[in-house]
Chains A and B, each alone.
Chain A
Amino acid sequence: MNKPPDAGEILQGTLDMLILRMLVLGPAHGHTIAEAIERTSENALEVEQGSLYPALHRLEDRGWVSSYWGVSENNRKAKYYELTKRGRKELAAAAGRWQRMTRAIGLILGESLSKQREGA
């Protein structure tokens, strides 16, 4: 398998954000999106294929992406997803939330780690 040993599962709730982020680059079909996430994360993240499609459908129902059938680079039929205006807004909001969250978690972890070092 071409799975790296430290491949991590994607945190719950972040898959939507990652998909939206990938679509900023332009319309893409499911396989491309999954590959792009894995490649961009340097294979640190592994997209569980069983979650990818439910997530895409959910995003479409919410109106954050739209879809159309097209022909892929391999000359195959593929369903393309495209970021909508509302999707773009949602991505900005989600990214903001995520950054605040990681900063907060980073602050806490940084402090506790330094305390541990003091105690040791």
Chain B
Amino acid sequence: MNLRRFVDRSGKDQDLAEEIESHLAHASDANMARGLEPEESRRRANIRFGNARTTRERVWRYRSLPWIEDLWRDLRFARRALAKTPGFTVVAILLIAVAIGVNTAVFSVTDAVLLKPLTYPDPQALVELRNTSAQGSFPGANIPKFALWHAQTAIFQQVAAYDFGGAGMNITGGDHPQQVQGIHVSADYFAMFGAPVIAGRTFTSAEDSPHGGNVAVLSYGLWKNRYGANPHIVGSTIQLDGQPYLVVGVIGRGFVTDTPADLWVPYQFDLNSKDMAHFFTAAARLKPGVTVPQANSQLKLAADQFRRLYGADSLPPQGGFGVVSLQEASIGDMRTPLYVLLGAVGFVLLIACANVANLLLARAAARKREFATRAALGAGRGQIIRQLLIESLTLSLSGGLIGLVLGFAGVRLLLSINPGNIPRIGEDGAGVTLDPTILLFTLGISVLTGILFGLIPAISASRPNLAAALNENGSRSGMGIRSGKLRAVLVVGEMALTVVLVIGAGLLIRTFLNLQSVDPGFTMHNVLSMTMSVSGDRFQTTAPVADVIREGSDRLRAIPGVLDVAVSNCMPMGGGFGMGFDVVGRPKGNDPFTGGAGFYSTSWSYFSTLKIPLLNGRTFTKQDDAAAPGVVVINQAMARQYWPKGDPLKDKILIGPGVGPAFAEGPRQVIGIVGDTRDAGPNQPPFPMMFIPLAQMPDLETALNSRVAPLYWFIRSGPNPRTLVNPITNALRDASGGLPVAHIRTMEEIEARNIARQRFNMLLLTVFGSAGLLMAAIGIYGVMSYSVEQRTQELGVRMALGAQASNLRNMVIRQGMLLTLIGVAIGIGGAFWLTHFLASFLFGVKPLDLVAFIATPLLLSAIALISVWSPALRATRVDPMTALRIE
């Protein structure tokens, strides 16, 4: 297209006016030359030329873009038309806005967690190293494995080790000691994850070797918050656990790792170590061109080599090594919940679409006469369709705009009720942003819905029977068969979708209630927990740790209000360590006489503090220390599983046989059996557990323990323990020689956090279900009131012919409820199939739960009944005379 013609329209018009003037002058010159009078000459020239203004208008139009001007006119018209029916407009815009807002919010979170690749450069090449076995694969590494993996240079570009949980570290040497998340990493860690170094450097391989010196790399957050972004921090020394550490570098902001970290220190592995204890995670970056299957087959050979080096028993019989994509490993089981979430959102969107389409259909039907008039005045079918499309696009774009704002708010809301265990949303959800993709997605949805909503009524409105519409029927004729049926179908669909949503919500609500009522096996009331990091050199043997525990327990008990105090190396309901054991005297390697169990080290008062009932024998006393014979307490699940007939109290067990020097110790006497606790979470059955006194741990095990986990303190009090936080932390600091505590939470808070995901799911589906219910109610109300309005004449005639008000009311109710029941029936059918996808989220309730499947249809029918009630009443109030005269 030639763009020149659209430029400088007024200037060119002025030019043309002068040109025409010049033409007329020449024409009248010519006439004068033929001998005419000047006035006559001019008059004839004018006549001959015709209307100069018409010419100018023709050129003007030629220089314009008619469709843009038509669009502008249609837009203004649409705004006027929508403003004339503010109720409709507001409801429609709100419906679209809510649907799109919800969609955007959930999509943003999903995008950050599920769709967006890891934030590291070239994330496809990152893999987690796994131990494979017949039962599946699990992460975890020891030094010999790491050394072997590190040597696989044919497949790996880098291999790095890092702490998974981390014991925490104490920054000391100031007025305020602070427990921070200090992560041990091997030297290649930063290069492998592509960490941006903003100051200094990362560890050299010399620094990551035994006796490499004390060096640390700081995170952006720690550098900023604790050191005020001091530009001279690199090269200075900080105190970690009482030891001076040289700061060699600072990592830039936005480096989000799956194990969040405030600072990093090198592992300094002795790669010749034969220590088989697993205490870290390893990941690798594949060499360019190497695939996961290739890496796996290479690692199969490596596993054979491992057995040759360290003996046939160094790996389980069918065990080996393998890799999985790090993305997959870190997202884990969030995939299904998010898909369920997306599905629910899709349902809400569909319901909203159906509803708005319904409203638009009703509106278009009511405006039949307007369209007929316009058609009679010469509007083409295309023009009417365009007009309606523009109206609905105006609606959907306004809705989309508001929806976007709601989406922003929704993301914040989702993050604020986020259970805290959604991976990779970054600090304060910084990883979740509304990015251009989502913007386009939202815009796409709003435009698509606009076209979809607009097209159906537009097409049906564009072929009115002109004469019929204009003459007798007017706007109050029965709704056209086509649009009437369509609207009924839409309402039925809405009902069906709502039933599915509400049944899903019902199942999740029941799950949540069930989870809340699960007895965890120990008391949470008025129990405070906190962590103390004992990672320094001071705590490499058992005795000083035991001293801190004894001293701390005594001081805490002296605080008025404190009833009991205990320490453990695991958090109940927080997961812990697992360990194999042999029952002394039984043949080895033969189930059920040998096996594995959760492995806790606790102080003597652990069971009394958490009120875990003693079922048989005795629990620990203060006297079960390093000097006393080795003892172990087991839980009921362990007794049942491994002593189905015999008496465990008569047996000794050997814990961690062959695991490595850290766990080398003699057999322990089973002294007691305690009640089960649900440590794997309220929705998991109790698993076998064994407890040993912290004071009886071998020194090397304590050293390992101090490196990988903090000590957990539990304080049960009479009054609300939150009121005792200050005396407790002071007492612990005094007792430990200045160690700070962190993560101060009550057990009830921890439990709430544990079922937070279920709460999150329940909340979301409840919101979706309620939104669906509300919209379905609006939908059926809209259809029925519209139908009553359309049939005013018919109802009037019926009344005039003697129909009772109750007959009319029941007729309307019957029709409304018929639609509802059809929808509900379809919905139940759909739910039968769809709730199976929820099975993995449910606890104590089956996917085909009778309560949900009976209560939901009843609830929905009740709401539908209320919704059709008022239109039905309106039907009885029709005044026959008015109705007949209305047109």
- Taking a contact as CB atoms under 8 Å apart, the answer to whether B4 and A50 are in contact is no
Closest to A79 in B: B19
| Cβ–Cβ < 8 Å partners of A48 in chain B | 50
Interface assignment of A89: CB less than 8 Å from any CB of chain B:
no
Closest A residue to B54 by beta carbon equals: A50
**B26 and A76 contact, CB distance less than 8 A:** yes
A54 to B49, CA, bound (A): 13
B12 in complex: contacting residue of A35, A49, A57, A74, CB < 8 Å:
A57
Q: Which residues in window 24-65 of A have CB below 8 A to B?
A: 29-32, 35, 48-50, 53-54, 57-58, 61-62
| Residues of chain B lying within 8 A (CB to CB) of residue A54 | 55, 58-59, 62
Residue of B nearest to A34 (CB): B23
Interfacial residues of chain B within 2-58, with CB under 8 A of chain A in the complex: 2, 4-5, 12, 15-16, 18-20, 22-23, 25-27, 29-30, 48-51, 54-55, 58
Q: Which A residues from 49 to 98 make CB contacts under 8 A with B?
A: 49-50, 53-54, 57-58, 61-62, 72, 74, 76-79
Whether the Cβ atoms of A50 and B15 lie closer than 8 Å is: no
Interface magnitude class on chain B? 20 to 34
B26 touches A53 (CB 8 A): no
Cα distance A8–B308 in the bound complex, in angstroms: 107
Main secondary structure on B side of the interface with A: helix
* Distance to closest chain A CB from B173 (angstroms): 80
26 A–B pairs (Cβ distance < 8 Å), ordered by A: A29-B26, A30-B19, A30-B22, A31-B26, A31-B27, A32-B26, A35-B30, A49-B23, A50-B49, A53-B19, A53-B59, A54-B55, A54-B59, A57-B16, A57-B59, A57-B62, A58-B62, A61-B2, A61-B5, A62-B2, A72-B22, A76-B25, A76-B29, A77-B18, A77-B22, A78-B26
Cα-based distance from A74 to B25 in the complex (angstroms) = 9
Instruction: Contacts A76-B22, A76-B25 given; indicate if A53 touches B55 (C-beta within 8 A).
Output: yes
For window 749-772 of B, CB contacts with A under 8 Å fall at: none
- A-B residue pairs, 6 tightest by C-beta: A31-B26, A61-B5, A49-B49, A79-B19, A50-B55, A78-B22
Q: What residues of chain A have their CB less than 8 Å away from a CB belonging to chain B? A: 29-32, 35, 48-50, 53-54, 57-58, 61-62, 72, 74, 76-79
Q: Which of A48, A50, A72 is packed against the most chain B CB atoms within 10 Å?
A: A50
- Which residue of A is nearest B61, CB measured? A54
Which residues of the other chain, B, contact A72 by a CB distance below 8 angstroms?
22, 26
Report the nearest B residue to A77, measured CB to CB.
Answer: B22
Which residue of chain A has the shortest Cβ distance to B31 in the bound complex? A2
B contact set with A: CB distance below 8 Å: 2, 4-5, 12, 15-16, 18-20, 22-23, 25-27, 29-30, 48-51, 54-55, 58-59, 62
For A29, list chain B residues within 8 Å (CB). 22-23, 26
Q: In the complex, which residue of chain B has the Cβ closest to the Cβ of A49?
A: B49
Would you call B22 and A79 a contact (CB within 8 A)?
yes
Nearest B-chain residue to A76, judged by Cβ: B25
On whether A53 and B16 interact (CB within 8 A), knowing A72-B26, A76-B25, the answer reads: yes
Nearest CB on A from B25, distance (A): 5
Pair B50/A30 contact, Cβ less than 8 Å: no
- In the complex the two chains form, what is the Cα distance from A77 to B21 in whole Å? 10
Q: How far apart are A56's CB and chain B's nearest CB, in angstroms?
A: 8
Question: Of all chain A residues, which has the CB nearest B47?
Answer: A1
The residue in A29, A30, A32, A53 that gathers the most chain B C-beta atoms within 10 A of its C-beta is: A53
Within 8 Å CB of B5, what residues of A? Answer: 57-58, 61
- What is the distance, in angstroms, from A74's C-beta to the closest C-beta of chain B? 5
Asked if A31 and B23 make an inter-chain contact with CB atoms under 8 angstroms apart, the answer reads yes
Q: How far is the CA of A79 from the CA of B17 in the complex (A)?
A: 11
- The CA of A50 and the CA of B16, in the complex, are separated in Å by 12
A34 to chain B, nearest CB (A): 8
- Smallest Cβ distance from B16 to chain A, in angstroms? 6
Chain A residues near B23 (CB, 8 Å)?
Answer: 29-31, 49, 53
In whole Å, how far is B241's beta carbon from the nearest beta carbon of chain A?
A: 81
Q: Is the CB of A50 within 8 A of B50?
A: yes
Inter-chain contacts of A50 with B (CB < 8 A): 49-51, 54-55, 58
- Contacts known (A30-B23, A53-B16, A79-B19); A74 close to B29, Cβ less than 8 A: yes
B4 touches A49 (CB 8 A): no
Q: Which residues of B contact A30 (CB under 8 A)?
A: 19, 22-23
Alpha-carbon gap, A74 to B29, bound state (A): 8
B29 contacts A53, C-beta separation under 8 Å? no
* A-B contacts besides A29-B22, A30-B22, A53-B55, 5 pairs, CB < 8 Å: A50-B55, A53-B16, A57-B16, A57-B59, A72-B22
